[in-house]
A and B are shown apart, each in its own frame.
Chain A
Amino acid sequence: DTGVSQNPRHKITKRGQNVTFRCDPISEHNRLYWYRQTLGQGPEFLTYFQNEAQLEKSRLLSDRFSAERPKGSFSTLEIQRTEQGDSAMYLCASSLIVHGSTEAFFGQGTRLTVV
């Protein structure tokens, strides 16, 4: 499968615990996005990387959230001290930006439930 891969698919955690999600983008895609989606709503932008550089982070994102893409390939999203409001689907997408734009391809997402 050469699509975007996200792990785990589901995560249940207790409030206050830390969680980490992984995203493996399509090979050679230089841009990687993280989004959050709640039921029936559109994906909400969290952050994106161009290769290993994190170029933008949403102002809605608290300091408890951090993302990395250390070698410009896979990325991790960590949430520290989880809260019930963090329960959502976390989506990763990748695209190849060369001249102009191409579409972003999405993974299946990681569903986080904070209890």
Chain B
Amino acid sequence: GAVVSQHPSRVICKSGTSVKIECRSLDFQATTMFWYRQFPKQSLMLMATSNEGSKATYEQGVEKDKFLINHASLTLSTLTVTSAHPEDSSFYICSAGRGAYEQYFGPGTRLTVT
């Protein structure tokens, strides 16, 4: 089956610093990847669509300058949380698309901003 990995699985950073999260499709190429954020006891909220070789498309209310997305290859998308603050602490999950109706989710990255 299709496997998507995320790195790191957990990260703690200080307020004001930036942190990068990687999402990789291990055994297939993904022209599109998606980034979600999940707060405790809440659902997954789509943040942005990452397109290989072009700019990401952000959902309404998501600051593109704060959440930088780079999709440099067909197997890697990165999400950088810039100038992180405690309210950015969350569970970040990516997914990779293979075909119109196939999406495979990563295991998530727990970000804690102190």
Chain B binds chain A: no
Chain A residues at the B interface, C-beta cutoff of 8 Å: none
